[in-house]
Structure formats: structure tokens, C-alpha cells
Amino acid sequence: MQHILDIITLVIASIAGLVIIYGVILGIIELIQVEAGNRRLNKAKETLKAQKVELEAKLKASQAAVINVPNLECFIKDMQDKLPNLDYEGKRLALDMLDVTVWLDGENVEVIGIIEPNLKPDIVPQSSRCSFNGNKFSFNLRNR
């Protein structure tokens, strides 16, 4: 009888040991899952940081590209009022100052130039092809 009690005690101790081992294994599995989740979240965090930097750069560029419409309209009106009264040399100097090139070949007129926004930008008529890239206005106006 004592021998059976010793065997039962040994079996219970073995089961208790297995329960402890099972608990340790579950703890290790949980730790592995938490670490995998942390790696995934850290990777997502880095991706979000990169996107934030990119969006901040785009925001800064778009804020720099904002045109003060009332000042632009005033400048255009001022130029429209004064340009017709200039002589040929005055008009040539105005185009040269704005870094605008005009090509005439008898039939066609081609106007090409880039106007920096901080130089009171874009006196190009609305019918021209005009674009804003970075910090410059580019246009190409053809009369055919």
C-alpha cells in the first residue's frame, strides 16, 4: 500500500512539474507574440515618421507656393497700365528684367520665360500655358 502511495505521489509531482513547464512554455509563447507585435508596431512607427517628414516637406513647399492674389492683381494692373506707354527699349528692358524671351519670325510669336514668385510673379495672360514648379513659374505662350 505504501508503494502505491509513493507512486501516486510521484505521479502527482510529475503532473505538477508538467503544469509548471506548460506555464513556462505558454509564457515564452506569449513573450514571442508580444515581441513580434512590438517589431510590427515599431516598423509601422518608422513608416509613419517617414510619411510625416514627407508630408511636412510638401506642406512647407505648398505654403511657400501661395500667391498673394490681391498683390498679384495689383501688379498685373500696374504693368498693363504702364507697359503700353513704354517705348521699344523700355519694353525690351522690362522683358529682359523678367528674363522673358520673345521670338518673332514674321508669322509666329513665341514667348518663353520663368518668373520667380518673389519678383512679383506671373504677368502672363490666362490663355498661356503656365505652371508652378518648386519656386518658379514657367510659361510658354505661342501665337500661331
pLDDT category at 138 given cuts 50, 70, 90 is low
How far apart, in whole angstroms, are the C-alpha atoms of residue 140 and residue 144? 13
Which long-range contacts does 85-88 make (Cβ < 8 Å, 24+ apart)? none
- Phi and psi dihedrals of 133, rounded to 5? -135, 115
Sheet containing 109-115, strands listed edge to edge, beginning at the edge strand earlier in sequence: 100-104, 109-115, 136-143, 129-133
106 in Cβ contact with 91 (< 8 Å) = no
Query: Taking 50 as the threshold, does the pLDDT of residue 126 lie above it?
Result: no
State pLDDT tens for residues 73-123: 777 788 788 888 888 888 888 888 878 888 888 777 787 877 665 544 444
128 in Cβ contact with 98 (< 8 Å) = no
| Average pLDDT score, the chain | 77
